[in-house]
Chain A
Amino acid sequence: MISLSKIIENRKLVLGRNERYLNYIRPYNKRGAIKIADDKTISKRILARAGIPVPTLVKVIKNRNQLNEFDFSTLPKSFVIKPVKGVRGGGVTIVYNRNKEGKWIASGNRRYTEDDLKSLIQDILDGRYSLFNEPDRALIEERVRPHKGFKYYSYKGAPDIRVLIFNSIPVMSYIRLPTKESDGKANLDLGAIAAGIDMAVGKTTSSIIGKSTAIDYVPNTNLPLSGIKIPYWDKILRYACEASKVTGLGFGAVDFLIDEEKGPVIVEMNARPGLSIQLANDDGLRWRLKKASGIKVKTTERAVRLAKDLFGGEIEEEIESLSGKQVIGLTTNIEVYSLDLQTSFNIKAKVDTGADLSSIDESLAVSLGFGDIIEEFKILYSEASSKLTTEDEAQVVAQDIFTKLKLKFDYLTNIKYIRSSHGTSLRLYVNIKIIIEGQEIITNFTIFDRKHLSYKILLGNNTLGKFLIDPSKIQV
């Protein structure tokens, strides 16, 4: 059952439309900044001046006269026609090449003559694709050649990467992959895929197709949608921060395409970013915005650092790569080998940094083949138990039993007199081979009766040297 308190708790994570407008778009996006973001020619100019890569501008056609005077033969081989104030990707035509008869080959394998292109541009000028059908201008720019890395993930069109920024800090991100259903367009309403991206490492996490359906694999394939590495991730984050600074957009989205040669280029900025990004990431925006607000960010490097530290989910991966040590949780599944190394058991072990030495339950040790030594040890122990009155005596007895047993069992490492919460006793130490997270370790275990404890193996400091411990990590 879903508890109401959980919904109330989760509610704090999610950003809705009312709050987006009242608390973020209105206060943080000045009219001037919205104007820049809405007008692709202005944003392009400002970004280019700041040294941020954008697709090369070919021509802006402002009115019918300019359209009639425009010499179509000056166009490059492949280009894109867009409305300057277009919304939701409407009216975008991508031209790939020109064939021998002089026709342009566009997306969807359509062929266009010069007249066709003119009529397309005329539509844009008439305001067919602009907000409120206002007259518009047409923008012609060089086509971005999609990065090869996404070849198998997207259908026809190029995937685009959106970074949501607030207070010049990237807060959330997703990549939109065109599908057959969306006709090669990276538009969620048409049925494209959106995959959330982990801010720290730039890898995709969870995905949705269309507006909200969760999806795990690229349709009709067995390619998983999670774990796709976004190339140039650091650069993308950096450009997003810089773009928000130079345009003054406090809360908005920056859309990137990845060019084969140029790397990430900014194709668009959006002052009213959609909320589906939360579904793609399977996480709310609200808590992230709250965290990012009020921080004074001086440099771009710091903004990127903050984004990764605050909003990256799998930060442990980074720590692993930094320290060369693997991260384990408070419990971990290990493989324990028997004395003759022929068989092994899978055991859930407790990690305890408060213990100096690892310990193993007696019954488990017996099934691993340590039965003989335990038996002989018990006999010797009970024979000597009367002599165990002072600590000095006990040390002598321990040394005595050790020398006796060591002759027969060479894997015995020590016998010690221990005072613990269980009282005073003599303990047996043996070497056992185990595997933790794929790492083979031969380590020293003390054998004693752990029957009344929930874990049969306790991993102490002598075994944990090669690992870092993260208490929040949960072993499945």
Chain B
Amino acid sequence: MDIIWNLLIQRGIPATEVALYKEVFVILILLPVVTTIIGIARYVIGIKSLGIFTPVIITFLLYEFGNNAGEQDIWKAVKYGVLLYTITLITSWLVYRVLKYLRMNYIPKLTLVTLGVVISLFACIVVAGIVGFNGPVFLNKFTLIILAILVEPFVSAFARKGTSYGFNTAIDTFITALFCYIFISITRLQSFVETNLLIIPILIIVNVYLGRFTGLRLNEYWRFRSILFGDNKTTNDQPKQDN
């Protein structure tokens, strides 16, 4: 990667600006890193997440929450993340439950759920400010918008698969995202991708392998435990006569 940075410096771009270019590259290349982790979580471990969009968004939300003057403050990210995510999830479920029995078109219904979530998020920020915890109001405004639009995957999970499935996958999604966030905020990883193009072939190899992976997922070892840990059926092993 140094060739590119040197090229930029040779073209007369000041070193402070080159740092910004580096930052852009790091944040962009971390996206496929995150999706790779989500892929591993799904195909190797078997964690269900709400699509690929939701965990990615939450990962970078946490990345933004944890931003403390350029450094990553993991504790801060977890604190804000858990609080705001929980509020969004619970409010969207509550409002959805009320609206479930009304016959409504999809988008207006979603809008009402979003309205509920937006109100509760704002109320929470106000209450936090009153009790002397005014951190949330300094968050990037755009992150709050992204957070509020998470109602769409939540509501669609509740609508299609029911409450418990919705909550389970939403929590799994958050845990996956949290893991992704902690992984990408490791400074050593960031400096590795910044200086080393090796990350690209690594990502290609891992994903090609993952794409052809036909093994049992970890949770399937649990799901099929009665067969896997049970007695081998002798009848299955015996070659039966061919007709």
Contacts and interface: CB of A to CB of B under 8 A. Distances in A.
Contacts of B229: 2, 6-7, 10
A22 B214 CA distance: 7
Given A133-B106, A133-B156, A283 B215 contact: no
A129 B214 CA distance: 31
A419 interface: no
Contacts of B233: 283, 313
Nearest to B106: A133
A305 interface: yes
Nearest to A128: B159
Secondary structure of the B side of the interface? loop
B227 A282 contact: yes
A472 interface: yes
Contacts of A212: 223, 226
Contact of B235 (A2, A11, A122, A472): A472
Contacts of A9: 232
A18 B217 contact: yes
Contacts, number: 83
A279 B228 CA distance: 10
B228 A283 contact: no
Secondary structure of the A side of the interface? helix
Contacts of A16: 214-217, 220, 224
Contact of B227 (A13, A18, A22, A123): A13
B230 interface: yes
Contacts of B216: 11, 14, 16, 18-19
A309 B228 contact: no
Given A287-B236, A305-B243, A306-B243, A279 B217 contact: no
A17 B240 contact: no
A305 B242 CA distance: 11
A472 B243 contact: no
A122 B103 CA distance: 10
B106 A6 contact: no
B168 to A, nearest CB: 13
B236 A283 contact: yes
B16 interface: no
A18 B213 contact: yes
A18 B223 contact: no
Interface residues of B, number: 31
A16 B235 CA distance: 22
A374 to B, nearest CB: 41
Interface residues of A, number: 35
A268 to B, nearest CB: 19
A126 interface: yes
A123 B103 contact: yes
A126 B103 CA distance: 10
A369 to B, nearest CB: 40
Contacts of A128: 159
Given A16-B220, A306-B243, A10 B228 contact: yes
A282 B240 contact: no
A279 B215 CA distance: 18
Contacts of B228: 7, 10-11, 14
Contacts of B224: 14, 16, 278-279, 284
Contacts of B226: 212, 214, 279, 282
Q: Which 9 A-B pairs have the closest CB atoms?
A: A19-B214, A16-B216, A10-B228, A16-B220, A14-B224, A2-B229, A18-B214, A22-B214, A313-B235
7 contacts: A2-B229, A16-B214, A16-B215, A278-B224, A284-B227, A309-B243, A315-B240
Interface of B: 43, 46, 103, 105-106, 156, 159-160, 212-217, 220, 223-224, 226-230, 232-236, 238, 240-241, 243
Interface of A: 2, 6-7, 9-11, 13-14, 16-19, 22-23, 119, 122-123, 126, 128, 133, 212, 214, 278-279, 282-284, 287, 305-306, 309-310, 313, 315, 472
Given A18-B215, A284-B224, 8 more contacts: A6-B229, A11-B216, A14-B216, A16-B220, A19-B216, A22-B212, A22-B213, A119-B103
